[in-house]
Amino acid sequence: MKKKRNRQIIYCIFLAVLILMGLFLKKKSDRIQAVNSQNAVSEQAEEKSELEQEEELPPRVALTFDDGPHRIYTKNLLDGLRERGVKATFFVVGENIPGNEDLIRQMEADGHLIGNHTYNHADISKLSDEENCRELQKTSDLVKEITGHGTAYVRPPFGNWKDTMDCRVTMISVKWTIDTLDWKSKNVTEIIGKVMQQISDHDIILMHDYYETSVEAALQIVDRLQQEGYEFVTVEDLILE
């Protein structure tokens, strides 16, 4: 009888231990599930936040101008861009700088990027590397005398670049994705239409600040694209993004 009672007591104790262990493991499991669930919610929230931030970023484009500075038209353009809080990129021709140093200073003061378009608007593909280096260096030196630094980017006239020049200069060659052909049409409506039909995020727009129609069209393009939520940046901003 006594042995039987002892066995019953041991059995009850064993059963109680099992029940307590079960309760402990269940609580631990519930706690782990709660933590995992919380982590999953947190990760989803972070992913959603990152996605929302990406979606909120405005499309960015670079407005670029070749052949200047022009005493009248570049000045009008710079004033118009300043009023709109827009940054652009100017690929200047060296021979046009003397007498227009104040325009180069205004470009620098307003945060525009000043690039190199050679000294004589030279076709790089038709000159020796030595001649091309002189063309680029002469313009860069003029810009440095005015701003304190040379040009880091070059827009080769006619879009012609030679691979051998990559080993001769440290400047980065920059082309474009939208050619307005503003120099050819000199038609404000046509120039604007070309841009509005093709524009998309990260485009580089080619224009010239050497024609009145180009300047008028450029400022209207800025107004329209700003209304559509576009942000204007320099080509350096796009490249370094």
Catalytic residue positions, numbered: 66, 208
DSSP state of 93: -
Alpha-carbon gap, residue 124 to 132, rounded angstroms: 6
Orientation of helix 101-109 relative to helix 129-147, angle to 10°: 70
Burial of 103 (0-12, 13-18, 19+ CB in 10 A): buried
By residue count, the chain amounts to 241
Radius of gyration of the chain (CA): 33
Residue 174 in 3-state DSSP? coil
Nearest one of 123, 58, 118 to 93, comparing CA atoms: 118
The tokens 């990406």 sit on which residue?
54
Alpha-carbon gap, residue 109 to 64, rounded angstroms: 17
Nearest one of 175, 138, 134, 170 to 152, comparing CA atoms: 170
The gap between the terminal CA atoms of the chain, to the nearest Å, is 87
CA 214 to chain centre: 23
The dihedrals phi and psi of 80, each to the nearest 5 degrees, come to -65, -40
